[in-house]
Amino acid sequence: MSMEWKKKQKILEKYEVDKLKNKETLQTYQETVTNLLGRREGFDTEQIEESWIAIKTSITESAEKVIQLTQRKKTKKWFNDNCKQVIRERNEARIKAIHTPTPENIRDFENKRREVNTLIRKEKRIAEKERLEDIENLKHNPREFFKRCKTFKNGFVPNIRMIEDNNGTLITKPENIAEEFRSYFEKNLNRDSTTGIGEQDDTLYYTAEPEVPSPSLEEIQYAIQTLKNNKSPGDDKIAAELLKLGGQNLTKNLHDLIQQIWIKEKIPKEWNESLICPIFKKGNRNKVENYRGITLLNSGYKILSLIILKRLQDRLLHDKQRDLTLKQLQASA
């Protein structure tokens, strides 16, 4: 289990999957994935680790070539060169008025101060108007529209670079902060279960247990389409959109991989890892107990989990309960 702590220099990298809405870009991406998967001829399809690495590499390399990583947009600052110039002149007038407090120098300083206040208010109003116009132009993109509205409503939110430990001592080093969160989540996520697990299926077999068939291609397709869009990827950087729009050849390769996993009862090592991202709830930002963790899972692991869960639902749950659980599953995938 890994810990992803937000640093100023490091941000979770994501691909610009919105570019795949363009038909030509989508076709280029699918062709690139197919061509890169063709290199798997040298791989042994029964080797789980090699197969997964080949699939993951084909997806990520195709995404890097066709759609690239998301670039952070630089926000336009209202504090421009004009503001810097008038503030510099005001400071010079202030120093002059202090050293030589003549009525003329004092009056000049007061005029410069009013000029600074007027210009700053003007630049702020212009910047705010431009931000509102940008938000209004996003009326056909609801997701980005509400995201910008939330940012505008919340205003400036400072980043917290320190955390208190159990003794109230402030921790400032990133590695110590990550260790504090690791201990906190380890304590909360690894609790002993105190509730019952419900009725067990204690079916007694007098002969060999019936063989459970490996997942079909249709089950793989269903699991991939169940993944929810616009979600942060795991450590593999593969978003759900990259799998959904990868084409039939990618789905076939994933099917071959999961069949081998089913037969050998072994998953790739990467699938045992996840990223835990601390999300602030409310209260004091310096206390770890005021954060909740969201786990970013590997995309391949999600597909396998959805297949297993769907089979358990069909076997153990009643119709109404199965529908409710399926909705919860789709919301979290």
What are 259-315's pLDDT values in tens digits? 999 999 899 999 998 888 888 888 888 888 999 888 899 999 999 999 998 888 877
Q: Is the pLDDT of residue 9 over 60?
A: no
Higher pLDDT, 56 or 315: 56
User: What are the sequence ranges of the domains in the chain?
Assistant: 81-154
pLDDT at 325: 61
Cα 26 to the center of its chain, rounded Å: 22
Length of the chain: 333
* Range list of H helices, the chain: 23-37, 48-66, 81-99, 103-136, 142-154, 174-189, 217-226, 240-244, 248-264, 299-316, 319-332
pLDDT for the residue numbered 322: 57
Q: Alpha-carbon torsion 116, 117, 123, 127, what sign? A: positive
Q: Output the pLDDT for position 7.
A: 44
Using a cut of 0.75, tell me whether the model's pTM lies above it. no
Whether 8 shows a pLDDT value over 50: the answer reads: no
Q: In terms of Cα–Cα distance, which of 79, 113, 81 is closest to 97?
A: 113
